Amino acid sequence: MDDLFAQELEALRARSLDRHLREITTAQGPQIEIGGRRLINFSSNDYLGLANDPRLREAATAAIDEFGVGAGASRLITGNLSPHLRLERALAKWKGTEAALCFSSGYAAALGTIPALVDKNDVIVLDKLCHASLIDGAKLSGAVLRVFPHNHLAKLERHLEWARDKHPDKRVLIITESVFSMDGDRAPLRELVELKERFGALLMLDEAHATGVIGPNGRGLAAVENLTEEVDVQMGTLSKALGTSGGYICGSHTLIEWLINRARSFIYSTAPPAAVVAAAIAAVDFLESPEGEERRLLLWERINLMRELILKLGVGRSALDVRRLKLEARRSTSDPKGQSAIFPLIVGDETAALNLAAALQSEGFLVPAIRYPTVAKGAARLRITVTAAHKEDQIGAVCQTIERHLL
Ligand SMILES: Cc1ncc(COP(=O)(O)O)c(C=O)c1O
């Protein structure tokens, strides 16, 4: 058996597509340590710097004192602890929905929810750049799967016409993200809602990278567009701006009750540990507080600074990658809807992306290369993320270093 996989690994290495774990020896933060070296971290999703926040740590420790470490069983057996219910009430109130349900990860939320909503008799129409968890959930459901080019409303409309023509009585589920994880741009939510209503479809929106970042108190894109009621299934994760771990679905009471009965990743998995859940409650409380809103606005100052500096990169250069980067940044400036804490620096070639990441690491910056299959072949990139915990001079320094290496 080893021979077989050794050959496959060799083939991955030959195409610069092999992956390796790096050991991080400190807590999350704008600086982390690898191999005894401090690196400035521009690749974390801990957008508000909450992953090592004293309030969250205290909440976790208090929950361990009260509930111990493990939940002991699934939620439907004996694992349904008070913190789970408190978190779900807090999430529903914060997101403005009737109810919420927590899963042990965002991945598990997608994998459990999508097959509970549709089956092989139904149709899913999915944005091409959707996260792997949404793709895997869609495949697992067995529904007929149609993919539309990224944010391409006309193509989506054609798929919906086709679905209504060929499967008139079936459920049609549109799946997309509010902020795309590897490109940092946003979905045209208002137009998507208009289409879903016209074709009588359901809409599932993954707010993973919008939560905590976009909208008042970080409620996400549906809230900022005032479309909370129109989005049937709001998915999110506690593991990015909320600094902890776990996924959630927000929606109607009926939806949540259905998921409790049908979402297999919820039913057949041990409940998340109380410590993590209590830390997530502290994170939601923080986001709802004036201090939380201040932190989110600080994040936007940092995002705006990064955008400004990135716009200056590549001036007078002809490389396609740099032009693309400038375009990304320009679109962000002219269209405030195109903004997030994610800045993709598209390099293209996988080996070149690895080399650029290695060069940055040798100068003290951690920005790992993102390659196929996370992004399309030949679209390798550095995915730069900004957090509220970054200092202005750290943002300036990484941009200068990138500029030097792109010369
Ligand atoms: C868009 C998107 N959805 C879902 C997930 C999965 O969330 P989690 O990391 O909590 O499993 C991620 C994270 O990797 C993501 O980027």
Pocket test for ligand 1, best of 43, 44, 45, 107 (most atoms within 8 A of CB): 107
As a whole number, mean pLDDT of residues 256-263 equals 98
CA of 358 to the centre of ligand 1 (A): 25
Query: What is the per-residue DSSP string for 102-164?
Result: EESSHHHHHHHHHHHH--TTSEEEEETT--HHHHHHHHHHT-EEEEE-TT-HHHHHHHHHHHH
CA of 168 to the centre of ligand 1 (A): 32
Q: What is the pLDDT of residues 357-396, one digit of tens each?
A: 999 999 999 999 999 999 999 999 999 999 999 999 999 9
pLDDT at 330: 46
pLDDT at 214: 96
Structure tokens at 361: 């690491």
Structure tokens at 39: 């690196």
Instruction: Kindly give the interhelix angle for 132-141 and 106-117, rounded to the nearest 10 degrees.
Output: 30
As a whole number, mean pLDDT of residues 171-193 equals 97
**pTM: predicted TM-score of the whole model, two decimal places:** 0.94
Print burial letters for 326-335: b (CB count within 10 Å at least 16), e (below 16).
Answer: bebbeebeee
Give the C-alpha separation, 162 to 114, whole Å.
21
Residues 149 and 125: beta-carbon distance below 8 Å: no
Q: Whose CA is nearest to atom 16 of ligand 1?
A: 181
Residue with tokens 């979402």: 263
CB atoms within 10 A of CB 54: 8
* Per-residue confidence band for 4, with pLDDT thresholds at 50, 70 and 90: confident
Give the C-alpha separation, 350 to 370, whole Å.
8
**pLDDT value at 209 more than 80:** yes
Provide the Cα torsion 261, 267, 273, 279; round to 10°. Answer: -40
Q: What is the pLDDT of residues 26-79, one digit of tens each?
A: 999 999 999 999 999 999 999 999 999 999 999 999 999 999 999 999 999 999
Q: How many residues does the chain have?
A: 407
Task: Taking the CA atoms of 304, 305, 306 and 308 in sequence, report the sign of the dihedral they define.
Answer: positive
CA of 237 to the centre of ligand 1 (A): 6
Q: Give the number of the atom of ligand 1 that is nearest the alpha carbon of residue 108.
A: 11
- Of 375, 386, 385, nearest to 353 (Cα)? 375
Provide the Cα torsion 59, 63, 66, 69; round to 10°. Answer: -150
